[in-house]
Chains A and B, each alone.
Chain A
């Protein structure tokens, strides 16, 4: 059987067994265009939401990190300022204060005598 013969037979058989009346091209095309637009919009929306979430998460991450660091720094400084005090040493108790520079340890008067159980 020639190819031409086979082709004719098969085409005839296919047409007889399965009707192949296509739907209108314009209808299918319009539906495809609508679907394409919808899916593009949906994709753009998804991308926008994903970008917004990513930006939000990054911003929150940066903000919270800075906040912790700044709080730590300033809390420590404040606490130190509030809880410690320093004043310059004074020579007020020295006999010649404000004038003498002491090079030797001054002799302090002391007694080994007791009076009523206490040192004089």
Chain B
């Protein structure tokens, strides 16, 4: 079905539909480039250019959300890869002293940080599928499509990630109980 604001080179995509996904997509773009806002904005703009120009073409084989998440993922993998690594390194070194500072008094924030660090410490694919399924509300099938892996492989990554996370989160709970 072609909507009235369908894109010229991507007739199955409408501006309105993309706008509805904008904030979710931005979250994913942020995660792809080490949570650097400026880089994520560039990544989003580039993704929209890909869709506008028809270089990335949506053919209704998946949901629009899976499609645009995939576009961002592929862009991040190719041209933004170096930049993303760079940003991740900056974050790593920039975060180190912050941990010590936030240790005093901000217990809740500290706990959240430790939970998220547990996610970030997972192997790349396990981390990606965890984020897509638990934080971006995708099914394992959709997440696998975004990551470019088979459904079977996606299920394996998901299962391992869940087990690893359960161990870490259980450990955190035990610590909390002890303190």
Contacts and interface: CB of A to CB of B under 8 A. Distances in A.
Contacts of B22: 22, 25, 28
B83 interface: no
A13 B30 CA distance: 15
A8 to B, nearest CB: 9
How extensive is the interface on chain B, given as a class?
20 to 34
B109 A20 contact: no
Interface stretch (B45-53, B62-70, B143-151): B45-53
A22 B28 CA distance: 11
A10 B30 contact: no
Contacts of A36: 49, 52-53
A11 B134 contact: yes
B contact patch SS = helix
B169 A6 contact: yes
Contacts of B41: 23, 28
Contacts of A22: 22-23, 26-27
A11 B135 contact: yes
Contacts of A3: 134
Interface string B61-85: 0000000000000000000000000
Contacts of A33: 52
B113 A28 contact: no
A94 interface: no
A75 interface: no
Contacts of A23: 26, 41, 44
Interface in A14-42: 14, 16-18, 20, 22-23, 25, 28-29, 31-33, 35-36, 39-40
Contacts of B46: 32
9 contacts: A1-B170, A11-B134, A13-B115, A17-B116, A22-B23, A23-B41, A28-B45, A29-B15, A32-B52
The 10 closest A-B pairs by CB, nearest first: A32-B48, A22-B26, A16-B112, A13-B115, A13-B116, A13-B112, A25-B22, A10-B134, A17-B116, A20-B27
Interface of A: 1, 3, 6-7, 9-14, 16-18, 20, 22-23, 25, 28-29, 31-33, 35-36, 39-40
